Amino acid sequence: MSEWRKPVPRVDAESKPFWEACRRHELYLQRCRACQEFYYYPRNTCPYCLGSDVEWVRLSGRGTVYTFTVTYQHGGEGFRDEVPFVIAYVELEGTGGVKMLTNVVECDPAQVRIGMPVEVTFRDVNDELAIPVFRPRGE
């Protein structure tokens, strides 16, 4: 595991199950039991119906690039040595359109396209935290 020099997310009671799943290299999202809507980012109240009866559901980890940008300059520690890199919204398969802000990795940034099929992979920060990112998926 290489040294992680980027900021890390704050893990709180609401997001802890999400990050625990990521540590296992599994992608989970919450779904409201009342209205059946998936949503992201983790929170205890459904943003659609304001219900609090929510469950965690394991996803396939597949999705498509909804939109993206390629970053060619970044002065922040942990980022400046990785330019260019892709920041994207990925629409997650099986969620009714939920999109996750992430990075597309393991490909030339010039090859990324809207609608490109991707799959989740994880960057291990340490023994307790892994960050979900997406890579091209062979079709």
Res. 27: pLDDT tops 80: yes
Structure tokens at 30: 């919450």
Structure tokens at 50: 């304001």
- The pLDDT tens digits of the residues spanning 95-114 come to 999 999 999 999 999 999 99
Sequence-distant (≥ 6) Cβ neighbours of residue 119 within 8 angstroms:
61, 62, 63, 134, 135, 137
User: What's the pLDDT at 41?
Assistant: 92
User: What's the pLDDT at 54?
Assistant: 96
Cα distances (Å, whole numbers) of residue 24 to 69, 88, 95, 103, 132: 29, 23, 21, 19, 11
User: What's the pLDDT at 113?
Assistant: 98
Pairing of strands 62-71, 85-92: antiparallel
Better pLDDT: 51 or 5: 51
User: What's the pLDDT at 86?
Assistant: 97
Res. 1: pLDDT tops 60: no
In the chain, where are the structural domains located? Answer: 16-136
Q: Is residue 21 helix, strand or coil?
A: helix
> Phi then psi for 117, rounded to 5 degrees?
-75, 135
Structure tokens at 133: 């990112």
Res. 122: pLDDT tops 60: yes
